[in-house]
């Protein structure tokens, strides 16, 4: 059951469960749960031409695989330009994933600043394929094609605080929308993981994404380029920042996460 299956399932507007092959331990992959909440919001509101500008995500608890999920949304505010909507994924009445999405209408402005085009350190053929190994990597990794251009694999003990690479779904079915980009971006391990001397649990706690508009068109087989840096890490938490680029080097999204690091348990 690939990502498109779940996007279609949520249109039926009834509870459903996430299969264990989208899991990481007992919990479901957070990128999928966030993407489904966004999909649910977009299917239940009228955007009136507004673009998704920002999304704030709180992972409040593990979404247990093979247990029913319910979805809710609430419009927080509607203005001439901005629309802000809260969405939730719940299990047994408890909020497990919560997002606030902000959609904005385009306006005329004298200000226009473009981010410089970016080139990847390595081509697709030169990059290191991120492995999917049963029992070693999370189950959901099989659904993604991640290729490392800079940095190391988790547990390498590197001092490098950067992780970069190409990314797409393993079997892309359609051009990426912004919900599917959420899943794709979060498929990367936190950039702090390669700094650990051995594999250890990490967990995204909060996540903020900003989408650059207008967004350039994407083809079904396109790879996006991902570049992430550990900005600061100490006392069991890491702050990471990432930029996501179109295949032609245009900036399309900014990402920031607070990550819990559990390498030394008391």
DSSP conformation letters of 106-151: ----S----PPP---SS-TTTSEEPP--TTTS-GGGGGEEEEEEES
Q: 75 and 137 in contact (C-beta within 8 Å)?
A: no
Tell me the whole-structure pTM to 2 decimals: 0.95
Give Cα 150 to chain centroid, integer Å: 19
Q: What is the DSSP letter of 220?
A: T
Average pLDDT over residues 35-45: 97
> How far apart, in Å, are the Cα atoms of 211 and each of 42, 134, 162, 245?
15, 34, 21, 11
Sequence-separated (6 or more) residues with CB below 8 Å from residue 95: 60, 61, 88, 89
HSE value, Cβ hemisphere, 13 Å, CA-based, for 22: 26
**Alpha carbon distance 257, 59 (integer Å):** 11
Residue 133 in tokens: 């190994």
- Give the 3-state secondary structure of residue 10: helix
Rounded percentage of the chain residues whose pLDDT exceeds 70: 99
Identify the structural domains of the chain with CATH numbers, from first to last: 1-107 (3.10.129.10), 116-266 (2.40.160.210)
> How far apart, in Å, are the Cα atoms of 171 and each of 3, 6, 145?
10, 15, 8
How confident is the model at residue 46, as a pLDDT?
Answer: 96
Please give the helix or strand (H or E) that residue 32 lies within, else none: helix 30-44
**Alpha carbon distance 65, 49 (integer Å):** 35
pLDDT in tens, 42-67: 999 999 999 999 999 999 999 999 99
How confident is the model at residue 6, as a pLDDT?
Answer: 97
Is the pLDDT confidence value at 266 over 60?
Answer: no
Q: What is the rounded average pLDDT for all residues in the chain?
A: 95
How confident is the model at residue 134, as a pLDDT?
Answer: 82
Is the pLDDT confidence value at 81 over 70?
Answer: yes
**Alpha carbon distance 152, 238 (integer Å):** 17
Is the pLDDT confidence value at 265 over 80?
Answer: no
């Amino acid at each position: 059951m690939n990502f498109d299956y779940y996007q279609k399932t949520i249109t039926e507007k009834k509870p459903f469960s996430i299969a264990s092959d989208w899991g990481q331990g007992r919990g479901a992959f957070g990128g999928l749960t966030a993407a489904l909440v966004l999909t649910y919001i977009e299917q239940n509101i009228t955007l009136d031409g507004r673009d998704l500008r920002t999304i704030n995500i709180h992972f409040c608890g593990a979404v247990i695989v093979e247990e029913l999920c319910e979805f809710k949304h609430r419009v927080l505010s509607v203005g001439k330009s901005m629309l802000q909507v809260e969405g939730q994924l719940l299990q047994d009445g408890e909020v497990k994933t919560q997002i606030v999405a902000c959609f904005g209408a385009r306006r005329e402005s004298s200000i226009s600043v473009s981010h410089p085009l970016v080139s990847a350190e390595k081509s697709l053929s030169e990059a290191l394929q991120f492995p999917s190994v049963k029992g070693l990597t999370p189950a959901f990794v099989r659904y993604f094609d991640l290729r490392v251009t800079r940095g190391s694999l988790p547990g390498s003990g590197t001092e490098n605080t950067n992780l970069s690479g190409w990314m797409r779904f393993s079997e892309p079915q359609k051009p990426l929308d912004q919900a599917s980009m959420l899943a794709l971006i979060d498929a990367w391990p936190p950039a702090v993981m390669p700094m650990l001397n051995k594999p250890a649990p990490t967990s995204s706690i909060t996540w903020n994404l900003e989408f650059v508009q207008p967004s350039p068109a994407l083809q079904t087989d396109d790879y996006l380029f991902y570049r992430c840096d550990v900005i600061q890490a100490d006392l069991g938490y890491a702050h990471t920042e990432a930029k996501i680029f179109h295949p032609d080097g245009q900036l399309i999204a900014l990402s920031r996460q607070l990550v819990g690091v559990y390498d030394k348990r008391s």
